[in-house]
Amino acid sequence: MEYKISNAKILYKNSFLEGEVWIKDGKIFKVSKSLEKDLPSMNAKGMLLLPGLIDPHVHLRDSLYSYKEDFDSGTSAALAGGYTIVLDMPNTNPPVDSYERLMERKEKAKGRINCDVGFYSLVYPELDLFPDAIGYKVYLHKGDWNVENLRKVLKKFINFKRILAFHAEELDYNLDKYDVFLHSEIHDERAEIKAVKKILDLTKDYNVAVHFCHISTPQALEEIYYSKLKGLNVSLELTPHHLLLDDTYFNLGNIALVEPPLRPLEYVIALREALYKGKVDMIGSDHAPHSLEEKFSDKPLPGFPNLEITFPLLNSLMKDNLID
């Protein structure tokens, strides 16, 4: 089957052009301002035509969290948002913390996903690594992550070609009950900056690829960026909510609770400037849906369902020349 997509704004070789795309046997055959061949046409006037987006950070629920979302609905949301590849985080229920659990999750996903999915695993000092995981993740604010245990994990990745990702927060304390305001005090900027500095300092001793998830403070971002300039193999992501929302939204109540929390407006502006200047490697939606009952409980769960809205919202920022 052959047809063409006409009148779209096409992202081609790092710029937009208005033209036509020739589709042949389900694949892009040719891109041109005007195709010579007469083909059945799909009019895409007013639309953007982009390569499929990649989201490096999603929490597809399923299993015991299927009441929040399942593989089908989550990956349908991804496609609706323009994503053709998403990377699934391992803090599922049950958690992906072994080879067997990873294989179980992959098996459950068979025939129930609508885009490509890569699956992360948790990592612990005693875990034997396996290449079947797309990457590994440490939640630094959960578990006993002292320097000795971090060194044990970093050593495992010296000759192992997978990303080691960090939720980089070191908390001084935690509580059984809290609201969005108290949560932001527990997860303050110092928690992120302290954790990022700790990981960067340890990474200097190991030639491994380290990724920092959902950075929310300009101070931590600059630490990572300048470490990369000095030769460390590190990367970072920003989320749409930390680029769009500030802590005045706490007035909405626990629906605004996310981890790391929303930050002051000056931080939001600084993160946008860093993105504009090319200091940011990628955007991760940190898609994390919950039920309304969970969001408004005595211990509300952090997270926003972002897959469908991330690109449209960031595109609005681009139109306003607030990011590039």
State the Cα–Cα distance between residues 313 and 208, nearest whole angstrom: 33
Annotated active-site residue in 70, 88, 188, 286: 286
Distance of CA 310 to the CA centre of its chain: 10
Q: What is each CA distance from 54 to 110, 157, 268, in whole angstroms?
A: 20, 24, 23
DSSP designation for 43? E
Of 195, 206, 207, which is closest to residue 171 (Cα–Cα)?
195
Spacing of C-alpha 39 from chain mean position: 39
**Distance (Å, rounded) from C-alpha 255 to C-alpha 152?**
38
Roughly what angle, to the nearest 10 degrees, separates helices 218-229 and 189-203?
A: 10
Q: Report how far residue 96's alpha carbon sits from residue 111's, in angstroms, rounded to the nearest whole number.
A: 20
Instruction: Report the SS3 class of residue 33.
Output: coil
Angle at 182 between CA 90 and CA 216, to 5 degrees: 50
Amino acid 279 reads: K
Tell me which residue of 109, 105, 141, 108 sits closest to 120, measured CA to CA: 105
At position 40, the amino acid (one-letter code) is P
Residue 62 designated active-site: no
**Alpha-carbon distance 70 to 53, whole Å?**
21
Rounded CA separation 305/58 (Å): 9
Half-sphere exposure of 38 (CA within 13 A, CB side): 0
Q: How far apart are CA 57 and CA 46, in angstroms?
A: 29
Element (H, E) at 313: helix 310-319
Q: What is the distance between the alpha carbons of residues 79 and 88, in angstroms, rounded to a whole number?
A: 15
Q: Which residues are catalytic?
A: 286
